[in-house]
Amino acid sequence: MLAGFIRSAFGGGYLDGGIREIVWLNFSGRASESLERISSLLSSDPANYKAYLLRANCYGWFIAPDPENRRYDNSLLESLEACWNDAEKIKSSAPDYDQALYYRSLAKVVEARFKAIRGQDFFSRWATRSAKDAADELVERSPDDIDARLPLAIFHYFWGGSPIWKRIGQFALMFPRGQQELGLKMLEEIAEEGDDSKLWASLALLVIYTRNPETREQALTMAEQLHNMFPDNAIFQLVLGDCYRGLGRWVLAEAVYRSIIAKVSSRLPGYDEVVYETSRLRTVECQINLSKMDVAFNSVRDILVSNPINPEWVVPWAHLYAARIYRHRGQPKRAERALRYALDGKNYENLHKMAKEEFEAVKKMTDREVDN
């Protein structure tokens, strides 16, 4: 099955040899090397719209380990804009017009999605107007080409299923709306049967499945598939660990996070400090859930002693886990102190809510001691 996936991952008409190799490098977790090759392509051909889209893709990989990181936002958006502008210059009579349309529509739909992630809802929806027009034209020109449906599929999923108040606003501003179920079905078909769009559809599905607790098994299947294809992609491996974690498979999750830590130590490309600190923290969580409290305490102490600043939410979460260990050891005062440190930190992934719940558990323990 895996061999068939690899053979058919590229074989359509949108990726030539050089671009295909760069996409493969990107998915292999070597975005920095990809960026160097893209710079070389743009030096010889400054109007290479394909290269601009892949450059934006590189910046996306840089952002992925820590979505709070906005260092590459402008570079990503500028690359997408350059892709759109240069692809738009290709005339409809040109032999590569369909290719240009494919990259144009992808650039605009990715721009719209990225702005939505950054909370720029109006500008995101504004971008969907151009994205939908280009995606529709591409499908109309190539109705039997499954790869050509990728931009439209992404549009349908991420801009379908809006609440009624948003639909009213979209209608008033003449914003296009998608059909979420249709988009999901299209993405699944492309991931199964596509060629040049296969990997990007699989990546989109991984994002979709991991967002919904009801599709954790599908997320795990997709993460395993992508990790098997690209075993040294830090993002895929981290998501694989998170899938096991979300399903409560703590032994497997801990093994994945330990593997990541080992790869960071061996200086494997793409395995950076953010991936390292995230994996160390996740390892502590696994150890606590496996009742390996002494091991977990040593692990969390190592994090707090090293006091990493990137990502900034690791230390506050480490204090929360320290509090759980202290509560387990019957040390409520130390647990309370750790929780105060946790509440002083950034509220990432409901940290403050979890800390307050832990405070309640510590308080109950203290009350029982007083009663006794």
Q: For the ranges 21-25, 69-73, 92-96, 365-369, which has the lowest average pLDDT?
A: 365-369
Please report where in the chains the tokens 């914003």 appear, as a residue: 175
Give pLDDT, residue 124: 77
Statement: residue 216 has pLDDT above 70: yes
User: CB 318: neighbour CB atoms within 10 A?
Assistant: 27
Q: Contact 323/358 with Cβ under 8 angstroms?
A: yes
Q: For the ranges 15-24, 57-66, 201-210, 324-333, which has the lowest average pLDDT?
A: 15-24
Q: Contact 357/339 with Cβ under 8 angstroms?
A: no
176-196, pLDDT tens digit by residue?
678 889 999 999 999 999 999
- Between the alpha carbon of residue 115 and those of residues 69, 77, 119, 269, the distances in Å are 14, 9, 6, 28
Q: Contact 53/150 with Cβ under 8 angstroms?
A: no
Greater model confidence, 176 or 128: 128
Statement: residue 8 has pLDDT above 60: no
Composition of the chain by helix, strand, coil, percent to 5: 75, 0, 25
Per-residue pLDDT, averaged over 103-113, amounts to 92
- Tell me which residue range forms the domain holding 55: 1-211
58-80, pLDDT tens digit by residue?
999 999 988 888 999 999 999 99
Per-residue pLDDT, averaged over 28-53, amounts to 94
Is residue 251 included in any domain, yes or no? no
Is residue 339 included in any domain, yes or no? no
231-261, pLDDT tens digit by residue?
999 999 999 999 999 999 999 999 999 999 9
Mean pLDDT of the chain: 89
Per-residue pLDDT, averaged over 91-110, amounts to 93
Give pLDDT, residue 11: 39
User: CB 181: neighbour CB atoms within 10 A?
Assistant: 12
Contacts of 245 (CB under 8 A, 6+ apart): 253, 282, 285, 286
Per-residue pLDDT, averaged over 11-26, amounts to 82
pLDDT bin (cut points 50, 70, 90) of residue 149 is very high
Is residue 78 included in any domain, yes or no? yes
Annotate 50-88 with DSSP letters as a single string: HHHHHHHHHHHHHHTT-TT--TTHHHHHHHHHHHHHHHH
Give pLDDT, residue 200: 95
Is residue 362 included in any domain, yes or no? no
Residue 175, domain CATH? 1.25.40
Is residue 154 included in any domain, yes or no? yes
Is residue 118 included in any domain, yes or no? yes
Is residue 216 included in any domain, yes or no? no
Number of structural domains (the chain) is 1
Statement: residue 371 has pLDDT above 90: no
Closest CA to 29 of 9, 57, 69, 49: 57
Give pLDDT, residue 122: 75
Is residue 249 included in any domain, yes or no? no
Give pLDDT, residue 49: 96
pLDDT bin (cut points 50, 70, 90) of residue 148 is very high
* Percent of the chain clearing pLDDT 70 (strictly above): 91
Greater model confidence, 365 or 337: 337
Give pLDDT, residue 10: 41
Packing angle between helix 273-289 and helix 314-328, nearest 10 degrees?
Answer: 20
